[in-house]
Amino acid sequence: MSNLRTMAKLVGNRQGVLLVSLWRRVLTPVCRAAFLTSAVHNGVLRLLADQPRTAEELALALGAPAEAGPRLRGWLDVGVELGELGRRGDRYRLRGRLSRALVRPGNEAVAASLEQMVSYQIPALLHAPAMIKDGRRLTLGDMDGEVTARASRVLEPFIEAAIERVVDRGRPVRLLDIGCGTGVYSRHAARLNPLLTGLAVDLQQDVADQAAANLARWGLADRVDTRRADLRELEPGEPFDLVMMHNNIYYFSEGERVAVLERARRLLAPGGRLLLTTSCRDGNVGLRILNLWFDLADFGGPLPHHHELLAQLEGAGFTEVQATRLMPGQAFRAFVGVNG
């Protein structure tokens, strides 16, 4: 009866209706996103996918003392309330569709995208007006290069299809992978052509180290050298037949893009090709927030408009410049240009 009375009061009260609608449509999804991000980041989903555990066992597995169990229980019970975790007795397990999907093999890049959005991009949305007012800027250190590299892998099938269109087969090819991230695209090119050798570079030391470890694990260390390097400082040496730049043109300011692309072109042999893939500015809300992040940063610049990038490639001396949409209906494109 008293519940009914409360409901009746809420329905008759505009603020109450707004609050209920806010909780249902906005705050619950935000809480779910924050809880899942934290559970992925701290390895809790993985631990619970292995076996149901008590809060004390989880605390120990996370490196906290078992006495921290009761406090961890408060956090776990939020997951239960959201329906992402279940609890039988004092043991927690995975229950929700999303929590179970995020630990499934093959979904690692989606899990990293969630973490990237919640931990790095939403804060930019939250703080943008104050940052603009105070003249504060984001730095490269405000982004976790390793999470970014893993999150970028959601685009892998589309980028791989673009690589398949440009890698020559059956003859030795020299590849340069600029901003190589995890190194997966060097691996893909190397698998397409067993005579391909190359160099994979990344600006960030930890990312380059991880790429080197990955390429060694994949048995490619003798074919692809990996090191930390800035494209802007790479000097022409033995020319490359193919230069790849995936998801990093916005790490360069708009004003320096022509010069950067020209430097990439000078590293190519005559007739060599550049394959550049990027999200463009005509995208969805996620891409608008990525664009905002780079607008707020003290390096790089906004996502390119695709027609501007085509003009910049021509300005850098590339010929036969073309852009292709890689995902139907999405603003993610491949740009190809020839040196010569």
Ligand X SMILES: C[S@@+](CC[C@H](N)C(=O)[O-])C[C@H]1O[C@@H](n2cnc3c(N)ncnc32)[C@H](O)[C@@H]1O
Which CB atom, from 204 or from 226, has the smaller least distance to ligand X? 204
Which CB atom, from 82 or from 261, has the smaller least distance to ligand X? 261
Which CB atom, from 60 or from 154, has the smaller least distance to ligand X? 154
**Calpha distance 273→244 (Å, rounded):** 9
Residue 5 Cβ vs ligand X, minimum distance, rounded to whole Å: 54
* Residues ≥6 apart with Cβ < 8 Å to 271: 338, 339, 340
Q: Which residues are paired to 181 by β-bridges?
A: none
Residue 227 Cβ vs ligand X, minimum distance, rounded to whole Å: 10
**Calpha distance 261→8 (Å, rounded):** 64
Tokens at residue 290, please? 């990525």
Asked whether the beta carbons of 46 and 26 are under 8 A apart, the reply is: no
Residue 202 Cβ vs ligand X, minimum distance, rounded to whole Å: 5
DSSP secondary structure, 232-259, as one string: GGPPP-SPEEEEEEES-GGGS-GGGHHH
Which CB atom, from 54 or from 278, has the smaller least distance to ligand X? 278
Number of H helices, E strands in the chain: 16, 10
Residue 293 Cβ vs ligand X, minimum distance, rounded to whole Å: 11
Binding positions for ligand X, rule: CB under 6 A: 145, 148-149, 152, 178-181, 201-204, 207, 230-232, 246-248, 251
Which CB atom, from 44 or from 175, has the smaller least distance to ligand X? 175
Residue 260 Cβ vs ligand X, minimum distance, rounded to whole Å: 7
**Calpha distance 34→149 (Å, rounded):** 21
β-strands 240-246, 173-178 pairing: parallel
330 — alpha (psi -120 to 50), left (phi > 0) or beta? Answer: beta
Residue 153 Cβ vs ligand X, minimum distance, rounded to whole Å: 6
Which CB atom, from 173 or from 211, has the smaller least distance to ligand X? 211
